[in-house]
Structures are given as C-alpha cells and as structure tokens.
Amino acid sequence: MMKKIKLSEIKKEQIWDLEKQVANIAKEVEEDFQHLFLQNSYILEIYFSRNDTNPKHFPYTPKTSKEQCLKPHYCSHIGLSLRDLDGIEIDDDNHEFDIGHQLTIWEVEKTFFIFVVDKFPLFKIRGFILDLPLTEIKRQLTEDILYIAQHLKIENKRK
C-alpha cells in the first residue's frame, strides 16, 4: 500500500533509511529461501533497485542515484528474479505467478491529471511511500516466494 506524501514533508535521509530497511528484509528473505531453490536447480534473487521512470526512457528505466530521491520520476523498489543454474531467466509463460512483480518503496511522479509527463507546462509532483510495517513487508515477500515455489513444485529435499 502506497501513501501520498508532500515532498516538503519528508527528508532524503528518511527515504534512504526506509530503502535500506526494506532491502535488508529482502536480503534476509532471499537467504532464508535460496537453499530451497538451489536444491531444485533454480537461483532466487531478490534485488533492490533505484530507477528513473521518466516516460522519455520508455520502455527502459535507467538506474539512478539515491541523491535523486526527491526528483520527479525517481522510483526505488524490490524485485524478484528466478533463473536456472545456467543463468537463464525463468519467465511466467503460463501466468501462474508474477516473476516480474516489484514492491515499490518510494516513487516521485510528475503528472498532469492521471498521466505521467516529462515536459508539460501544467503538472503536479507527488511522492508515494510504502506504507506497510516491516513485518508485513517480510510476510508478503515470504508468501510470494512460497507461492512461486508451490507452482514450480519446489519442495525441500532434506526431509
């Protein structure tokens, strides 16, 4: 769940702290489940990323620095990647689960009504921050991974 917030009401350090906390949770969850996926010939990666979502870059979203966190089109998120042991990414061809799912932590949008814009004389700049307790973020990541494991028929071979 994202909460709208005025940019004047938040400091860069608050955003960086939340990003770090969520990235640490993601790393912890990845470490908890990596062995299970490796036993079944998959490599699980939960990653943190900062991107510039400016529409002029569409369909790409180049990386950006944390210092840009109060600028329009900044977006930080946690993403999930699944590869086989040869490094080939596993896609969701059957739409049983969402490998490309991302959990947005902080985003700054420059919009005209509901449209994200780059160069337009009339616009609003809005910030959106992840509004979930850290325990809920960990629970959601864990549930997503267990759901994927279930659909890939991954089970613990140490029984």
In 3D space, the residue among 25, 5, 17 whose CA is nearest the CA of residue 140 turns out to be: 25
In 3D space, the residue among 3, 7, 19, 43 whose CA is nearest the CA of residue 152 turns out to be: 43
| Residue 67 pLDDT level (bands cut at 50, 70, 90) | very high
Q: How does pLDDT run across 80-95, given as a tens digit for each residue?
A: 888 889 988 887 664 4
Q: How does pLDDT run across 9-60, given as a tens digit for each residue?
A: 999 999 999 999 999 999 999 999 999 999 999 999 999 999 998 888 888 8
In 3D space, the residue among 44, 46, 45, 40 whose CA is nearest the CA of residue 153 turns out to be: 40
